Structure 1
Amino acid sequence: MDHAWKEQRKGPDRWHETYPMAKGNNQSPVAILTKDVYKDPALLPWFTGYDPGAAKTIMNTGKTCRVTFDDTFDRSVLRGGPLQGTYRLRQLLIHWGSTDDKGSEHVIDATRHAGEIHLVHWYPKYSNYADSLRKTDGVAIMAILLKVGKDPKPEMKRILEEMEAIKTKGKEVPFQNFDPSILFPQNRSYFTYQGSFTTPPCDECVTWIILKEPITVSVDQMEKLRSLSSNAAGDPYCALVDNWRPLQPLNNRMVRSPCQ
């Protein structure tokens, strides 16, 4: 069992014993109250240019389902919104619950959704991904909330049909020709704030862009995610669920959204 996972077994409230940053002042996720959000006229729309050919593999890490993208050059990028430059897409991660009433990390107006997709991008003005983690503007994460409903978005299907192939921890299969922008809701409005990764070491390098409108998934689709095991193939099945971090204090941070 690798060291970091052993630490995580202690649970999020003890991560800081190994990763002191987890007790920092700018941690994520946070609860967002619409009435307290600052409508900022300076905030622009965001744009993505994703190359479907950049998608490489999909993996069960034992903690999440992860899609990896080729980030060796500006192949799939995010720009605009609160960002100063162009950020490269590196990975897609999913958080979900054991039941439909929990699973998302960010909570908006006291609503916690069934899941949350994170598209992780980094700022290539820094020499590499590891270097970007040490800078407050090094990473931009686009968050898409998942809510359970009657008309599921067919777009999740592509990811979910791979669940059989990555049942157990450490399983990884090729995942080609995938454009994550199909996951975006119609409404492009967003909340943004400065925060951290929601997994150790919880580096405080993230500009969060949380899309206000959730996308709809079905009960069956959520069950597919919950069918993954957090254990390796030879070990007993252990449902990979509730891989979301509890809320962190907002402290003096401001959550902003564009005026339009």
Structure 2
Amino acid sequence: MVPTPGDVETLSACQPESSPLLLLRQAAVEAVEADCLLAGEDPTWQCSPAGKAVGSWEGWWTYDGVSGVDHWGVLNPNWKICKCGRKQSPINFEPDRLLFDTHLRFVHVDKHEISGTLNNTGHDVTFFADQRSSSPLMVSGGPLSYQYRFERFHLHFGTVKHQRSGFENATGSEHRVDGQQFPAEIQLLCYSSLYDSFEKAVHQPNGVVGIAILIQMGDEPNRGLRIITDAVTRTTYKDDSTPLESISLHLLLPQTEQFLTYEGSLTTPPCYETVTWIVFNKPIYMNRQQLHMLKRLRKSTAVEKLGNNFRPPQPLHHRVVRTNIDFRRKVGKGCPSMKREMGYKASKWLGA
């Protein structure tokens, strides 16, 4: 059997690590050990990827530098799919490549409030839902065949001015639309009701659904987002956390039933390709005050800002991106709508 060019590309990307890659990984190990020693910690036990604390190694990745996105597939053998996978996320949505699917239903997210913990992970702001709750929040509809239980959400955002527009925080989202990046993005991750935990579901095909909500700057901020940004003032540094009681994720959803969907992956290591992504076709808004609250967040030191925590768009590799937006129906000045236009119209010969 003769491999196709795509097969050759994948095979070459997944070959065993060559000497330069091994040297890169060794350099990363030495760098993190040096950081631990400067902090007065024992790198063998707490910080070193070569040491005994496996959990520490799995958390030791960044968005830039020697442990940045370009090297995720090299740092850990279990993350190789971050480099050679062909269903990676996020992606750039190209309007002329969208496929209208009449069978897509509306997405349903339960409206009841939930509680959990908001954390500064050193990578992003993450909310973990209380999984002991007797009333878990469920997601269904859209492209999904089963119900999915909400596990957590991640907040990605930027901290620098856009060189062309000059707007603060003009870059920060992971998904892009026609090349346009948004100031921030919140991602709700849920796991299939077929499994009893996120850890089990993430290894299974279609085991996880990710709901991406793009965030734009505006004077009237989203109510749900306001609750989150008020709470982040209590999570300034890495490993800081605060309880978040009675939050309704339904408040985070934009006022639209239109969305895009595709098969992809986690956007952070280990990059498992088991995620069905749903991206709403309308942003929510935050104001400058909320932006400044996010810009106060730090990593492990008082100097390093937490933001700019987004992975660049990944190749689509012939994947199909479906949508429930019917571009054949127009309302107003070319705005697509799914609203049905119904009425009566007389034939031309009537009354002639």
Normalising TM by the smaller chain, what interval?
A: over 0.9
Match of 1:44 in 2: 105
Instruction: Name the CA shift for 1:142/1:249 in 2 (closer, same or farther; >3 Å).
Output: same
SS in 2 for 1:152: coil
1:228 maps to which residue? Answer: 297
2:165 is aligned to none
Q: After superposition, where does 1:1-16 map in structure 2 within 5 Å?
A: 1=47, 2-8=56-62, 10-16=67-73
Q: Deviations over 1:140-176 (max 9, x none)?
A: 0111000112332233111111122110100111111
Q: CA deviation at 1:50?
A: 4.1
1:87 is aligned with what amino acid? Y
Structure 2 partner of 1:66: 126
Matched, 1:22 2:68: no
DSSP-derived class of the 2:246 partner: coil
Partner of 1:173: 242
| Counterpart residue type for residue 108 of structure 1 | V
1:249 to 307, 315, 320: 315
Displacement of 1:57: 0.9
Match of 2:267 among 177, 193, 198: 198
The structure 2 residue matched to 1:240, chosen from 281, 289, 306, is: 306
1:73-222 matches, within 5 Å, as: 75-99=136-160, 100-222=169-291
Q: CA deviation at 1:224?
A: 1.1
Amino acid at match of 1:34: P
SS at 2:60's partner residue? Answer: helix
Shift of 1:127: 3.6
Aligned length: 256
C-alpha contact (below 8 Å) 2:223/2:251 kept by paired residues: no
TM-score with structure 1 setting the length: 0.94
Structure 2 contact 99–320 (Cα < 8 Å) conserved = yes
Per the TM alignment, residue 74 of structure 1 is displaced from its structure 2 partner at its CA by: 5.8
Which letter does structure 1 place at the counterpart of 2:290?
Q
Residue of structure 2 equivalent to 1:31? 92
Deviant stretches of 4+, over 4 Å: none
Q: Larger RCO: Structure 1 or Structure 2 (Cα < 8 Å, ≥ 6 residues apart)?
A: 1
Distance in 2 between residues matched to 1:7 and 1:164, nearest whole Å: 24
Give the CA deviation at 1:68: 1.1
Give the superposed CA RMSD: 1.5
Distance in 2 of aligned mates of 1:62 and 1:27: 23
State whether residues 50 and 75 of structure 1, in contact with CA within 8 Å, keep that contact through their aligned partners in structure 2: no
Moved more, 111-120 or 3-12: 3-12
For residue 153 of structure 2, give the secondary structure of its aligned residue in structure 1: strand
Gaps of 5+ in 1: none
Shift of residue 63, structure 1, vs aligned partner: 0.7
Q: Deviations over 1:199-237 (max 9, x none)?
A: 000111100000110011112212211211111xxx433
Q: In proportion to residue count, which structure has more strand?
A: 1
Q: C-alpha deviations, 1:17-46, integer Å up to 9, x for none?
A: 121010200000000011210000111111
Answer whether contact 1:74 1:88 (CA < 8 A) is retained: no
Relative to its length, the structure with more helix (as a share) is 2
Unpaired segments ≥5 residues, structure 2:
1-46, 48-55, 161-168, 327-337, 339-352
State the AA in 1 paired with 2:223.
P
Separation of aligned partners in 2, 1:188 and 1:123: 22
In 1, Cα distance between the equivalents of 2:61 and 2:198?
Answer: 23
